[in-house]
Amino acid sequence: MNDMVTTQHLSPETVLAQMKKHGVTHVVWLPDSETNWLYLLMQAEPTLTLVAVSREGLAASIAAGLAAGGKKPLILIQNTGLMESGDSIRGWLLGLNIPVVLMVGLRGWTRHGVTQDTAAVYTERFLNAFNISYYLVESDADASRISVAFEEAEKTNRPVAVLVGDEYHGFMTK
């Protein structure tokens, strides 16, 4: 049963393990329905500082300051907020060459039928317009793509996005 959970869904433990593997110190975030399952685990993790924002554009400039000071932030927001953050991403992340992963809840994403939610329709177009690389993760089997995003951000000194195409399905049973 557990194998089913770990192979067909994206578990919060997997995402947290990736954060720890890549030395994330701060998660700058605004909750959303695709990544809300991370909250309890992140809150309990002593190596992480959670920095809550009230509008996603602030996450870009806070992350820029953290990175300038030698820390390793991760931005955790929804695609709706990603689009709201356009000028901040341009000026504070791309403009200052900030290597940071944006973990973006992909609201409206589906592999089946026609995508109805314009939040999903425009997400990839938005990232392409800013020339920001992105990697879709839908299950634990995609965990290595999160590593690829971290490595690419460091190598290129640019923001790289991880699009989370899955919602909460419950924590793994220990």
Partner 1 sequence: MFKTADMLNIFQKYRGDAIVVPGRGGRHWINISQKPKLDVPLGDPAMGGHCAFAFGLAMALPHRKVVLFDSEGDLQMSLGVLMSVAEQKPANFYHFMLDNECYATTGGQPVPNAKNVQYDLIAKGSGYPRAFAFDELDAFAKALPDILEQKGPVFVAMKVVPEVENEAIGQRKRWMTRTRTQAINDLRQELRIA
| Edge-first strand listing for the sheet containing 159-164 | 49-52, 26-29, 73-78, 100-105, 159-164, 134-137
Binding pattern for the stretch 9-28 against partner 1, x by CB under 8 A and - elsewhere = -----------------x-x
Whole-angstrom Cα distance, residue 107 to residue 129? Answer: 19
Which of these ranges, 35-43, 87-95, 113-121, 125-133, lies near partner 1 under the rule CB under 8 A? 87-95
The answer to whether residue 155 forms part of the interface with partner 1 (CB under 8 A) is no
Work out how close the CB of 131 gets to partner 1 at its nearest, in angstroms, rounded to a whole number: 17
Q: What backbone torsions phi and psi does residue 119 show, to the nearest 5 degrees? A: -60, -40
Out of 16, 18, 27, 57, name the contact with partner 1 by CB under 8 A: 57
The answer to whether residue 52 forms part of the interface with partner 1 (CB under 8 A) is yes
* Nearer of residues 10 and 28 to partner 1, judged by Cβ: 28
DSSP string, 136-151: EE-SGGGHHHHHHHHH
* Nearer of residues 63 and 103 to partner 1, judged by Cβ: 63
CB atoms within 10 A of CB 142: 18
